[in-house]
Amino acid sequence: MKVGIVGGTGDIGEGMALRISQVHEVILGSREVERACASSDACVKTLEEKGISCTCSGVSNQDAVDGAEVVILAIPFQHVAATLSSLTGFEGKVVVSPVNPIGRKEHFFFAPPPEGSAAQLIGRLLPPKTRVCTAFNNIAAGSWKAIDTPLTHSVAVCGDEPAARGIVIGLVNSIPHLAGFDAGPLAVSPMVEAITPLLLNIAKYQKMRDVGIRFS
């Protein structure tokens, strides 16, 4: 599968590339192609030094969308609207949102847009035939990047089209030790996104790092 990562030079995007490129072709996008190439080269070098083969290339965000079967939006919530307004070609593609709208005062809290969630906002901003799903929302960048540690998280997947949810769950399950769970329609995405500030608060007050979730 060809997986495009828009915003692939951020911590989440680079971490996801390290894991996903071991089993799929990753097309790592950025506003600056040079940065994307540097991140993809670093990904390949890191894995090759551990004797792990991978497929990862650096391109523009637009080329990442154009060349992918599944597009992951690894961008901060505050940059969602501006980034999507600069891109085209999403029609018919499965688009994955791991985006969480989070506010912070003395603690972290869920700060959704009027649509109810980042994923629902993305669904409104993209063309009607785009197959938007939420997934990977509750995995910290540090967990993605700690490639010597098994990524034993559970991943809730939401989306209005069952076939698209199935594709994303298949992507999740193809990454060693991850487990994908069908969480239903995109209307469930506020619940999924709200878990992340909860995990951040737990990590803060227990002095833990990279707290995740597992369903059993």
| Spans of the chain, pLDDT less than 70 | none
| Model pLDDT, residue 93 | 97
CATH architecture type of domain 2-206: 3-Layer(aba) Sandwich (3.40)
pLDDT on residue 178: 98
- How many angstroms separate the CA atoms of 47 and 138, rounded? 24
Residue 102 confidence (pLDDT): 98
Least Cα distance to 90 among 164, 189, 181, 158 occurs for: 164
Q: What is the pLDDT of residue 77?
A: 98
- Residue (of 79, 165, 59) closest to 122 by Cα position: 79
Q: Where are the domains of the chain?
A: 2-206
Q: What is the pTM of this model?
A: 0.97
Question: What DSSP string runs through 99-167?
Answer: ---EEESSSEEE---TTSSHHHHHHHHS-TT-EEEE-STT--HHHHH-TTS----EEEEEES-HHHHHH
